[in-house]
Each structure stands twice: as structure tokens, then as C-alpha cells.
């Protein structure tokens, strides 16, 4: 990861935008870089939050010079929370060209969008085999632990959960409390996916899809030249 170092910048919102535009107008076009960003603004405090390229950037204001130039020091840059449904859809886009048939399990019909079919409300009645993979992409779902336990007990060849290590622990504890043996819990891939370094929905989905394919072929997904 690159170092997070302080930087100087002009910022303007609303009525202040004209002043910033006049500053940019004095610069050559080669020195001006445009990007789409979403800012979370507050009338108080000296912290700023913006979302760019699906990363959440939290910064702290150090000082403002006489020209109005602001020096901000980055505090944290991380993946912006994305809809689990977005990840599930992206997993489908990655796997279907490889011959996989992806079925979304979602009991909350209000979350099902056009194009999400086939969708089932639960794993009940689904005859899973060793050729099947079950991946939970919403660790906050109220049914997450129960589905994870059900999938772990099933004949599915691959079982995983998208989550941070901190959140995974409580789900595995819940699964264990449901009477699932440790040797069965051990086959759960959590956090799921190969480490590709991406934090956006498509990147996370690609890491999950790559992990599923690698596991199906008995590979650990490592580099071929190493």
C-alpha cells in the first residue's frame, strides 16, 4: 500500500465553486485532473470524507494558508461499503461465461432486482452436490449464520462467506453453537476469495470467482512463475 502523506489542495462547494474555478483557470490543462467524487460534508469539525473510485478516503485538515490552500493529512483509505447484492451479481458475471449456473438465495424479495433470476428464498429443497459452491455475500443478513451452517453441513464442494476476519469470528461461533463440528467448520472459506488487493464490488467478486474456480481444479491460485 502506498504511504498516506499530507497534500495541499483547493476545495470549494456551492457558492465557493466559482473561486476555485478561477484558480483552476490560471493553470494549464495538463495540470488539471478531473474525477467524479462524492463528499460527506459537515459544518463542524476538521475532518473530511469522500468516495472516489469506490474507495472511502478520510482526511484531517491540518492548516489553511493565506491563499486559501488547505493541507489535508489522510487518516484512512479503505473500501467503501457496497451492497452484497452488487457482489453477488458481479460473481455471476464472472462465473457464467465459465459454464457455471448461478442461483441467488435471497428471502427478502424487496432486494431482488430485475435480472437477478433465478432466485430462491432458501436452500431448503436444493439438492447440493460436491460440484456446487455456496457463498454468502452479506454477512449482515439476519439469516447469515443459519445459512452458513446449513451450507457447511451440505454436500456442497465449496462453502464461503464474504466478510472481514472480525465479523467472520462471530458467525463461526454461531455456527459452532448450532452443533456444527469443528472439522466441518474448517472447510468454510471465510473470508472468502483470493487476495487480489481490490476492495470494490467487481474486484471482490473476481477474487471470489477466482477462488471458486481454483478450488474446483485443486489449485491454490498462486502465480505460475513463482
- Is there a single domain that holds both residue 55 and residue 138? no
Please check the confidence at residue 2 and state whether its pLDDT lies above 50.
no
- Is there a single domain that holds both residue 52 and residue 102? no
163 in a domain, yes or no? Answer: yes
Model confidence band, residue 201 (pLDDT cutoffs 50, 70, 90) = confident
- Is there a single domain that holds both residue 101 and residue 190? yes
Average pLDDT over residues 207-215: 93
Please give the tally of structural domains in the chain: 2
- Is there a single domain that holds both residue 67 and residue 116? no
Average pLDDT over residues 196-221: 91
Give the model confidence (pLDDT) of 16-36 as tens digits: 666 666 766 666 666 556 666
Please give, one letter per residue, the 3-state secondary structure of the chain: CCCCCCEEECCCCHHHHHHHHHHHHCCCHHHCCCCCCEEECCCCCCEEEEEECCEEEEEEEEEECCCCCEEEEEEEEEECCCCHHHHHHHHHHHHHHHCCCCCEECCCHHHCCCCCCCEECCCCCCCCCCCCEEEECCCCCCCHHHHHHHHHHCCCCEEEECCCHHHHHHHHHHHHHCCCCHHHHCCEECCCCCCCCCCCHHHHHHHHHHHHHHHHCCCCCCCCCC
- Is there a single domain that holds both residue 75 and residue 90? no
> In terms of pLDDT, which residue wins out, 135 or 72?
135
- Is there a single domain that holds both residue 89 and residue 71? no
Cell of 85: 447484492
224 in a domain, yes or no? Answer: no
Give the model confidence (pLDDT) of 69-125 as tens digits: 888 887 665 444 333 468 888 999 999 998 888 888 888 888 888 888 888 888 887
> What was the pLDDT predicted at 54?
46
Count of beta carbons in the 10 Å neighbourhood of residue 106: 21
- Is there a single domain that holds both residue 19 and residue 124? no
> What was the pLDDT predicted at 13?
63
> What was the pLDDT predicted at 34?
61
Model confidence band, residue 63 (pLDDT cutoffs 50, 70, 90) = confident
Model confidence band, residue 44 (pLDDT cutoffs 50, 70, 90) = low
- Is there a single domain that holds both residue 125 and residue 101? yes
Last residue of a domain, one of 44, 62, 79: 79
Phi and psi angles of residue 46, each rounded to the nearest 5 degrees, phi first: -125, 25
> What was the pLDDT predicted at 179?
96
134 in a domain, yes or no? Answer: yes
- Could you tell me the residue range of the domain that residue 141 belongs to? 84-216
Give the model confidence (pLDDT) of 145-155 as tens digits: 999 999 999 99
- Is there a single domain that holds both residue 107 and residue 207? yes
- Is there a single domain that holds both residue 103 and residue 165? yes
The label of the residue with cell 449482515 reads: 140
Give the model confidence (pLDDT) of 157-184 as tens digits: 999 999 888 888 889 999 999 999 999 9
Residue 168 sits in a domain whose CATH number is 3.40.50.720
- Is there a single domain that holds both residue 141 and residue 209? yes
> What was the pLDDT predicted at 30?
63
- Is there a single domain that holds both residue 142 and residue 48? no
Last residue of a domain, one of 54, 79, 104: 79
Average pLDDT over residues 53-81: 70
Buried b (16+ CB within 10 A) or exposed e, 169-202: eebbeebeeeebeeebbeebbbbbbbeeeebbbb
Task: Say which residues have a Cβ less than 8 Å from residue 200's Cβ, sequence separation at least 6.
Answer: 53, 54, 55, 79, 80, 82
Last residue of a domain, one of 17, 51, 79: 79
Amino acid at each position: 500500500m502506498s504511504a498516506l502523506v499530507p497534500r495541499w489542495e483547493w476545495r470549494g462547494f456551492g457558492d465557493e465553486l466559482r473561486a476555485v474555478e478561477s484558480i483552476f483557470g490560471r493553470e494549464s490543462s495538463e495540470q488539471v485532473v478531473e474525477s467524479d467524487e462524492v463528499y460527506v460534508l459537515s459544518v463542524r469539525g476538521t475532518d473530511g470524507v469522500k468516495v472516489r473510485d469506490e474507495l472511502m478516503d478520510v482526511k484531517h485538515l491540518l492548516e489553511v494558508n493565506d491563499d486559501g490552500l488547505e493541507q489535508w493529512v489522510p487518516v484512512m483509505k479503505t473500501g467503501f461499503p457496497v451492497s452484497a447484492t452488487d457482489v453477488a451479481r458481479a460473481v455471476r458475471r464472472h462465473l457464467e461465461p465459465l459454464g457455471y449456473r448461478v442461483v441467488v438465495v435471497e428471502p427478502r424479495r424487496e432486494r431482488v432486482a430485475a435480472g437477478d433470476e433465478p432466485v430462491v428464498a432458501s436452500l431448503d429443497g436444493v439438492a447440493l452436490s460436491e460440484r456446487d459452491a455456496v457463498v454468502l455475500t452479506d454477512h449482515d443478513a439476519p439469516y447469515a449464520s443459519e445459512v452458513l451452517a446449513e451450507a457447511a453441513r451440505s454436500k456442497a464442494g465449496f462453502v464461503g462467506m464474504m466478510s472481514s476476519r472480525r465479523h467472520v469470528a462471530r458467525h463461526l461461533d454461531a455456527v459452532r453453537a448450532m452443533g456444527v463440528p469443528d472439522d466441518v467448520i474448517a472447510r468454510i472459506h471465510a473470508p472468502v476469495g483470493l487476495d487480489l488487493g481490490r476492495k470494490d464490488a467487481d474486484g471482490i467478486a473476481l477474487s471470489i470467482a477466482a477462488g471458486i474456480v481454483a478450488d474446483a481444479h485443486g489449485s491454490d491460485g498462486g502465480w505460475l512463475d513463482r
